[in-house]
Structure 1
Amino acid sequence: MGFADVLSGNKFYETLASTSSAPVIGQLAWTPVPHLPEQPDVIEAIRVNDSDHEVAMAKYARMTDVHFKHRPYKRYPILNINLEPTEELVAFKAKRRPCVIICANATQLGNIDRNAPSHHEERRIVAVPIYGRRSEDEPKGFGPILAVRVEHLMYRQFFPIAPWQEPRRGIDGAESLKGGIARFDRLQFVNPAPPGLRLMPLKVTDEVFRFMHAMLVMYLNGTSDPELVAAMQVLREFLPKEAEPPV
């Protein structure tokens, strides 16, 4: 028994007619998700020779307390990016992942200072990326014990996502979804347009989103939703013995 078994009719998804309109709450999409290690890498500049300031090489360096401060190399041209004293170029990997849109309600009023940067009033959405379970295709995915615990709603920062297969053909954005684990500790703030976001003709049901939102609120501030708590208590009784956490 897992989370899907406590849903009305065991229904996890609803299909959408198309992906041409604006994103909606609960809709699934694909977006690049950065992998941020505990200690990120910073790209530093190295002069090719001491007498030439116009040509520089770049190297990766582990971020330390010396970064995000004024340093001479920030005056060197790296990819034509000018760095301020408290700025750095941070290097990280990113992977395109499915995600669930949980917020698309940014306020935009317009008529602000004409010299204001564009990011002062954006319509970015908030998306929860989905990470896979361990398999032959994804050996670094979540292992079976943790995945079972997530199915039984034992982690506030995680939420189980069911698999899905698009039955229709020739639909823009249609594809399969293996399912996995949505991570609230990896929230993404995304510009709602290609190529940064590609919508899928699919959304979670209102019931699933209600549980998902309640888990997110519990993760953020500890507030408990009665319906969520009741489901957690029921699922806890069916947790396999091998997935029991240590006492």
Structure 2
Amino acid sequence: MPDSFRETGGPRHVAIIMDGNGRWATMRHRPRLFGHHAGAKRVREVVEACPEFGVKYLTIFAFSTENWRRTQVEVAGLMSLFRRYITKEMQAFVKENVRVRFIGDRPRLDAKLRALMDEAEAMTAHCTGTNLTIALNYGGRDEVARATRRLAEDVRAGRLQPEDVNEETLPRYLDTHVLPDPDLVIRTSGEARVSNFLLWQSAYSEYIFVDTLWPDFGADELGRLLAAFAERDRRYGAVKA
């Protein structure tokens, strides 16, 4: 395995749909939250592996706008987990030069969690290593709707002309406006769907679906997937001469 995938066509931005925590716990006859805690530990391993593989941007899908439909116990447990995770990892992110950002619709989240998110972003704003983006209360359709609303407000206020609205304008209003589009999207647990994740941004992303449940996913498997990505021919609609 090469020390860096930059020379071999490796992805600069990897996005991961971290799926399978609940099933992992159920297989062990444990509560679903046990699986979520196990999955949270895997995030650290993957983040730490990114510099070795030349991955500058990592975006992870932590909680979707649809996940509110889960039981009240599971949702409350997840919110508690997010608060503890951010509190526990904040100093480690600074030490490891990891810049943290959050995307998603924040107002529905509780005030304490929002404050921790703001603090993590502020504390790591100077970091120049891996860019870790955590999608929390995020949905691709919701993001596009919110972006379109802001764009429409600018048109109404005269800050933007209708004829200037195009596929290059809208991304400036997305949550990810400071990030490059993902080169590779990975989904664990054997499910082969995108689940409303980065719908606009992943228009030309490569996708890899693996059977591994997220708590069993680690740096070694990430490396194998990045090597497989490097073998793909990305033509963006064109045909090679």
TM-score of the two chains, using structure 1 as the length reference: 0.21
Question: Which structure's residues are more often strand, by fraction?
Answer: 1
Question: Which structure's residues are more often helix, by fraction?
Answer: 2
